[in-house]
């Protein structure tokens, strides 16, 4: 089995991804890096390892709103409730004063634990009492004073241990520990971690610059009214949408070229001067006017594979020219979406510095039909409210209308049917 009377160079879509990544990682070109503010870093890839600049937490801190106490006081006369005098409060962000035996100090979550204190009791686990003293019952210097006490029941004091409701200094991480490794894609959580350790301008790998070249004499722009035998260009906008969902990728050039060898080669040469990757759509199959491979070979590119054992997307081609990745995707719109999602995106992620490929979610198919083919089969699905995949009733790789109401596709191995655990590739959103 093969394509264009040649055996397949890769036996699976994943093998094609791995081959292309290995070739791009072996290129001589050094990756570009840049420092980027945190507000613009989401989805980008770290080009340096990040270490903690100090312990986290940087001091012993309260994990609850309540009162800081000494557990040594709890050991006194365990047969009765314990009443402690509240000696003040610890304000968050300020240094606490030492605490004496028989005292408690009001404290809030995140405030520093006073010296001498080794536990925090929650407000809901005690009884507070605030007694205002009348002027005639107090000495002159106590005029207007009040006694603030807390009472801890015998049951609660028996259950309280040293360290209760305290987050110890350095329990999250120690100064100098590695928090994030180079090659990690930044999420909202990892950006929060960068901020927490004072890394306001992380060093990131530069975006991968991509050119999209759609082809076809019959294709007109989406806003135009097509003649009876013309079609609108859905591949260009769909590809831009797929790539735009990945902040580590930047589409810098989008063009449409007619099916003419000179025009295709000219546009390819231009794109090679300004981009890291180029994506063609159309003109790559067996037709006598399919001239994309001829254009690719005309610039001296090394073709790694042309044709893959998959449906849709069997005619796909990948090549490398001067360190630039070139992908030629079939022109049918569903083929374009599937091959870009399944094969192009993982390669671009690796080119963007991502150290590990993203793990693929698996879904159960709610309506298996037990059909199989002798190729890797990418079947469109909708995801149900219960998280199962529902096979869509499409009309082939040219049916963009049906694809538009699906959520992605599952990948089914040759000779197998949709299973209870099929790899799922969602459309970019």
Identify whether residues 275 and 254 lie together within a single domain: yes
Q: Is the pLDDT of residue 140 over 60?
A: no
Specify the CATH number for the domain of residue 387.
2.40.340.10
299, 326, 351 — which closes off a domain?
351
pTM here? 0.86
pLDDT of residue 136: 46
Scanning 173-291, the segments in alpha helix (DSSP H) are 188-196, 235-244, 261-272
Mean pLDDT over 8-18 rounds to 96
Q: Which two tokens stand for residue 239?
A: 């590809």
In a domain, 417, yes or no: yes
Q: How far is CA 376 from CA 13, 14, 56, 202, 418, in A?
A: 8, 10, 49, 40, 11
* Per-residue pLDDT, 132: 61
Lowest mean pLDDT among 5-19, 134-148, 291-305, 313-327: 134-148
Tell whether 404 and 290 lie within a shared domain.
Answer: no
Whether the CA torsion 153, 155, 159, 162 is positive or negative: it is positive
Tokens of 304: 């790694």
pLDDT of residue 384: 92
Please check whether residues 107 and 241 belong to one and the same domain: no
> Are residues 41 and 151 located together in one domain of the fold?
no
Looking at residues 191-218, what average pLDDT do you find? Answer: 96
Which tens digit of pLDDT belongs to each residue from 23-57? 998 876 778 999 999 999 999 999 999 999 999 99
Q: Are 156 and 274 contained in the same domain?
A: no
Q: What is the pLDDT of residues 221-250, one digit of tens each?
A: 999 998 999 989 999 999 999 999 999 999
Domain extent at residue 194 = 33-56+174-205
Considering the domain architecture, whether residues 137 and 50 belong to the same structural domain is answered as: no
Query: Does residue 276 sit within a domain?
Result: yes
Asked whether the predicted pLDDT for residue 138 surpasses 60, the reply is: no
Q: What percent of the chain has pLDDT over 70?
A: 96
Please say which residue of 351, 369, 392 terminates a domain.
351
In the DSSP assignment, the letter for residue 75 is T
Neighbours of 424 (CB within 10 A): 19
- My answer on whether 219 and 330 are in the same domain is yes
Domain count, the chain: 4
Answer yes or no: do 126 and 49 share one domain. no
pLDDT-derived band at 287 (thresholds 50, 70, 90) equals low
Tell me the mean pLDDT in the region 353-359. Answer: 88
Q: Is residue 139 part of a domain?
A: yes
Q: Domain holding 51: CATH number?
A: 3.90.105.10
Residue 356 lies in a domain: no
CATH value at residue 143: 2.170.190.11
Per-residue confidence (pLDDT) for residue 28, from 0 to 100: 65
């Amino acid at each position: 089995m093969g394509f264009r009377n040649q055996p397949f160079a890769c036996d699976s879509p994943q093998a094609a991804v791995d081959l292309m990544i290995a070739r791009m990682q072996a290129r001589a070109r050094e990756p570009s890096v840049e420092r980027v503010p945190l507000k613009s870093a989401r989805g980008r890839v770290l080009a340096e390892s990040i270490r903690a600049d100090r312990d986290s937490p940087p001091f012993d801190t309260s994990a609850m709103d309540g009162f800081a106490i000494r557990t040594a006081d709890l050991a006194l006369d365990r047969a009765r409730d314990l009443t402690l005098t509240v000696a003040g409060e610890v304000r968050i962000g300020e240094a606490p004063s030492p605490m004496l035996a028989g005292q408690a100090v009001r404290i809030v979550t995140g405030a520093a634990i006073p010296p001498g204190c080794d536990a925090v009791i929650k407000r809901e686990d005690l009884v507070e009492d605030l007694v205002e003293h009348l002027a005639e019952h107090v000495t002159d210097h106590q005029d207007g004073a009040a006694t603030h006490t807390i009472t801890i029941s015998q049951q609660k004091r028996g259950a309280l241990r040293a360290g209760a409701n305290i987050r110890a200094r350095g329990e999250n991480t120690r100064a100098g520990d590695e928090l994030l490794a180079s090659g990690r894609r930044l999420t909202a959580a990892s950006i929060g971690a960068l901020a927490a350790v004072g890394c306001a301008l992380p060093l990131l790998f530069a975006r991968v610059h991509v050119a999209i070249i759609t082809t076809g004499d019959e294709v007109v722009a989406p806003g135009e009214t097509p003649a009876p035998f013309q079609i609108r260009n859905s591949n260009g906008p769909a590809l831009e949408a797929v790539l735009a969902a990945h902040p580590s990728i930047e589409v810098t050039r989008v063009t449409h070229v007619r099916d003419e060898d000179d025009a295709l080669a000219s546009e390819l040469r231009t794109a090679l001067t300004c981009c890291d990757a180029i994506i063609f759509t159309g003109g790559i199959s067996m037709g006598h006017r399919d001239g994309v491979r001829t254009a690719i070979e005309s610039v001296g590119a090394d073709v790694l594979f042309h044709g893959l054992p998959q449906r849709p997307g069997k005619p796909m081609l990948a090549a490398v020219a001067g360190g630039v990745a070139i992908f030629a995707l079939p022109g049918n719109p569903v083929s374009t979406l599937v091959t870009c999602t399944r094969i192009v995106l993982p390669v671009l992620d690796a080119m963007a510095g991502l150290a590990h490929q993203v793990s693929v979610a698996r879904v159960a198919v709610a309506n298996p039909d037990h059909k199989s083919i002798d190729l890797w089969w990418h079947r469109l699905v909708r995801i149900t409210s219960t998280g199962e995949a529902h096979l869509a009733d499409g009309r082939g790789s040219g049916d963009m209308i049906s694809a538009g109401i699906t959520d992605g596709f599952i990948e089914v191995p040759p000779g197998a049917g949709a299973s209870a655990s099929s790899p799922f590739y969602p459309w970019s959103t």
